[in-house]
Chains A and B, each alone.
Chain A
């Protein structure tokens, strides 16, 4: 069984217990960076077993948004729409394949996000259909709100969110 999480915990311990006391006390930048580095390694340790699920979440997020767009009746002749279909054709089988490697899922999600963003741009700059642009924008706002709720929980160990939610966990989003 993989024990990388134990390894990362050991790295943090070494940095704090052994390396930190050896730093020149007047080198404030080095002291600060060591603290940040140790903290980030610990953050990765806490997220290690969720990384694959996180990539899957992103892929599903953009798949759902892309399919919602297609349901609005996008212009068939558009290059942006053709690219959206292509990206979805790759993403679909990966999403339903439990053995799909993390790297391929990540690449497909990146391509699909690019295709989705290109459709939003085209809706505002090429198609001259204000009602369609509005529906696309509203879909993006609704979907992104959910994605940010997940990301707020994802980054919670780093501590930027002053009032983290208690009613949901990362597992609720990533299951």
Chain B
């Protein structure tokens, strides 16, 4: 229902394909979110009836980079080694090497352009990513950002140019023994080296002195209120309402429970939003983390959102003998929260954790079942074929959502 009269399924889901100004206004009124996120959602819906994504050639992208360099006053340079990267589901990623004169200093750097497709599987802010990479440089390993194209002045869509970070997301050598679970198996040696860094970085992010920075792209939720939970819930609900092509009554059950049980915020933390194995790079020989990536879902809010995400079963696995379950393939499950508290000084509240587990399931289903299908059906991204496949994750996450809700209704 949209609040005026009941629409048929066909009428309702046509609004997601060709949103009217009235529908966009209703979404804003019903689901208020942070201003930066609100602007991005409005932009997404206003452009939804626009053209499909068509792949740019490397020559076209070279021209865009050269236009950017000219605007930046960089005239003495050599641009080489342009290539597409895989791995980015929601963002287009292109690598290149720039040999350039930076105010009299000769520099040679490998860089990455990270750009939105016409519409991606996540509607997120390049400005926010840029601000966070700058803020965390020197605190946790991150790729240094160079330039931001927040309004698609140089590139076809908003983009970020940052340093290419060396490293791998998983061991290149085969580990011995069989493990169950979908998470990365780092093996005992790497696990021992990476686990302390994993906990240390998480603690540094959650205890980051956000107040010492002036973030244009982020709003600070009020302590002791449910404002943070409301913003995050509204964000997921709005995605579900704007993007879905069919109903799933389970989501209405979950939405009702989430509305009725929003926790108050006890501490404002920087939340990474996708803190897990697969999102950090490491030097395999040294066993040293080299970069934390994918800050696009970061926000100021409740650390339990990250904790619930990081401990999600799909990111971990059991040991070879089945006796130990490793969170993200790194930390034994029965040690994780104690080690987190020791590293951060922050408590872990099981009730808040449970709330964010349910919200995370809701968000995943909204993303893989609603957004991915909508974006692929409209041909809007560079990864439509991958987005079509992720529908298969709906039932896995849905099964978990059912399990979490049982007994709470």
A160 to nearest B CB, angstroms?
A: 5
A145 touching B399 in the complex, CB below 8 Å, given contacts A113-B247, A117-B247, A160-B393: yes
Contact pattern, A 101-142, Cβ under 8 Å of B = 1, otherwise 0: 000000000110110111011001000000001101110110
Contact pattern, A 149-164, Cβ under 8 Å of B = 1, otherwise 0: 1011011001011110
Contact check, A138 vs B181: say whether CB atoms are below 8 A apart. no
From B85, B252, B385, B394, A28 is in contact (CB under 8 Å) with: B85
Q: Is A37 interfacial (CB-CB < 8 Å)?
A: yes
Contact check, A120 vs B252: say whether CB atoms are below 8 A apart. yes
A67 to nearest B CB, angstroms?
A: 14
Contact check, B389 vs A158: say whether CB atoms are below 8 A apart. yes
Contact pattern, A 80-113, Cβ under 8 Å of B = 1, otherwise 0: 1001000000000000000000000000001101
Q: Which residue of A lies closest to B406 (CB)?
A: A141
Contacts of B250 in A (CB 8 A): 140-141, 144
How many residues of A are in contact with the other chain, CB < 8 A?
47
Instruction: Tell me the B381-396 residues at the A interface (CB within 8 Å).
Output: 382-383, 385-386, 388-389, 391-396
Q: Which residue of B lies closest to A118 (CB)?
A: B1
Contact check, A121 vs B395: say whether CB atoms are below 8 A apart. no
A148 touching B398 in the complex, CB below 8 Å, given contacts A121-B1, A137-B256, A137-B409: yes
* Number of A-B pairs, beta carbon distance below 8 Å: 120
B373 to nearest A CB, angstroms?
A: 13
Contact check, A148 vs B247: say whether CB atoms are below 8 A apart. no
Q: Is A167 interfacial (CB-CB < 8 Å)?
A: no
Contact check, A152 vs B247: say whether CB atoms are below 8 A apart. no
Contact check, B385 vs A114: say whether CB atoms are below 8 A apart. no
Contact check, A116 vs B389: say whether CB atoms are below 8 A apart. no
Contact check, B385 vs A40: say whether CB atoms are below 8 A apart. yes
Please, how many angstroms separate the alpha-carbon atoms of A162 and B246 in the complex?
27
Q: Is B248 interfacial (CB-CB < 8 Å)?
A: yes
Q: Is A32 interfacial (CB-CB < 8 Å)?
A: yes
Contacts of B383 in A (CB 8 A): 33
Q: Is B44 interfacial (CB-CB < 8 Å)?
A: no
B311 to nearest A CB, angstroms?
A: 16
A117 touching B402 in the complex, CB below 8 Å, given contacts A83-B6, A134-B409: no
Contact check, B399 vs A148: say whether CB atoms are below 8 A apart. yes
Contacts of B388 in A (CB 8 A): 40
A165 to nearest B CB, angstroms?
A: 11
Q: Is B195 interfacial (CB-CB < 8 Å)?
A: no
Please, how many angstroms separate the alpha-carbon atoms of A165 and B8 in the complex?
37
Please, how many angstroms separate the alpha-carbon atoms of A163 and B181 in the complex?
8
Prevailing SS type, chain B contact patch: helix
Contacts of A155 in B (CB 8 A): 391-392, 395
A93 to nearest B CB, angstroms?
A: 18
Contacts of B84 in A (CB 8 A): 27-30
A175 to nearest B CB, angstroms?
A: 19
B58 to nearest A CB, angstroms?
A: 9
Q: Is B350 interfacial (CB-CB < 8 Å)?
A: no
A40 to nearest B CB, angstroms?
A: 6
A120 touching B86 in the complex, CB below 8 Å, given contacts A137-B256, A155-B391, A160-B392: no
Prevailing SS type, chain A contact patch: helix
Please, how many angstroms separate the alpha-carbon atoms of A92 and B79 in the complex?
65
Instruction: Tell me the B179-199 residues at the A interface (CB within 8 Å).
Output: 180-182
Q: Is B253 interfacial (CB-CB < 8 Å)?
A: yes
Q: Is B312 interfacial (CB-CB < 8 Å)?
A: no
B409 to nearest A CB, angstroms?
A: 4
Q: Is B152 interfacial (CB-CB < 8 Å)?
A: no
A33 touching B396 in the complex, CB below 8 Å, given contacts A28-B83, A141-B406: no
Q: Is B150 interfacial (CB-CB < 8 Å)?
A: no
Q: Is B12 interfacial (CB-CB < 8 Å)?
A: yes
Contact pattern, B 365-409, Cβ under 8 Å of A = 1, otherwise 0: 000000000000000001101101101111110110010011001
From A40, A121, A124, A149, B389 is in contact (CB under 8 Å) with: A40
Please, how many angstroms separate the alpha-carbon atoms of A147 and B398 in the complex?
10
Contacts of A65 in B (CB 8 A): 249
Please, how many angstroms separate the alpha-carbon atoms of A79 and B181 in the complex?
46
B82 to nearest A CB, angstroms?
A: 10
Contact check, A141 vs B181: say whether CB atoms are below 8 A apart. no
Across the A-B interface, the 7 shortest Cβ-Cβ residue pairs: A155-B392, A151-B395, A114-B9, A117-B247, A29-B84, A120-B252, A124-B256
Measured CB to CB, the residues of A under 8 A from B are 26-33, 36-37, 39-40, 65, 79-80, 83, 110-111, 113-114, 116-118, 120-121, 124, 133-134, 136-138, 140-141, 144-145, 147-149, 151-152, 154-155, 158, 160-163
Q: Please name 25 pairs of A and B residues whose Cβ atoms are closer than 8 Å in the assembled complex, sorted by A.
A: A29-B85, A36-B389, A37-B385, A40-B388, A80-B6, A110-B10, A113-B9, A114-B9, A117-B249, A118-B6, A124-B256, A137-B409, A140-B250, A140-B253, A141-B409, A144-B250, A144-B402, A151-B395, A154-B395, A155-B392, A155-B395, A158-B392, A160-B393, A160-B396, A162-B181
